[in-house]
Amino acid sequence: MTPEEISVHEFNELSSALRHYSALRFAILTLFFAVTGGNVTFLYGTDDVPLFVIAASKLAGIVVTVVLWYFEYRIQDEFLHLERRLASVESKLGYDVYTRRSRYRFNLFWLTSLLYGVVLLFWLVSLFFWRGPFR
């Protein structure tokens, strides 16, 4: 293979990986909403739940939120690495697919981090109010 063919192949693989991580980000967000929604429905939609189950469910909400937030952080890190690498390969090939795309002022990572932070705050507050405003 010529160096240009190798670069084209690398560009294709990097683009595929970038699409994969972008789709994975939304799959994890979907999982987050499903698990959080199910947990909230269980906790606040039923009566006579033992105190231990309430505490365990709230702790599980905290753990799930933190773990999926960490996954979001790692995906963002990998995403940025792939973008930098794509920019390098594009400059070799004379492409401008990724380097000339529009950028938004407010990054998706910060928006999802805000969401995870608000939900984590909800779980932390609800953990300390056993039967109060958040049951």
135 in a structural domain:
no
- Residue 105's pLDDT is what? 63
Can you read off the two tokens belonging to residue 18?
């970038």
Does residue 30 belong to any structural domain of this protein?
Answer: yes
Q: Is residue 80 part of a domain?
A: yes
Boundaries of domain holding 55: 3-128
pLDDT, block means (10 residues), the chain with 135 residues: 90 95 94 95 84 90 97 94 92 84 75 95 87 51
pLDDT confidence of residue 65: 98
The total of structural domains in the chain comes to 1
- Residue 133, domain member (yes or no): no
Return the pLDDT at 98. 79
User: Does 28 reside within a domain?
Assistant: yes
DSSP label of 103: -
Q: What is the pTM of this model?
A: 0.85
Contact 25, 75 (CB under 8 A): yes
Per-residue model confidence as pLDDT tens digits over 8-46: 999 999 999 999 999 999 999 999 999 999 999 988 887
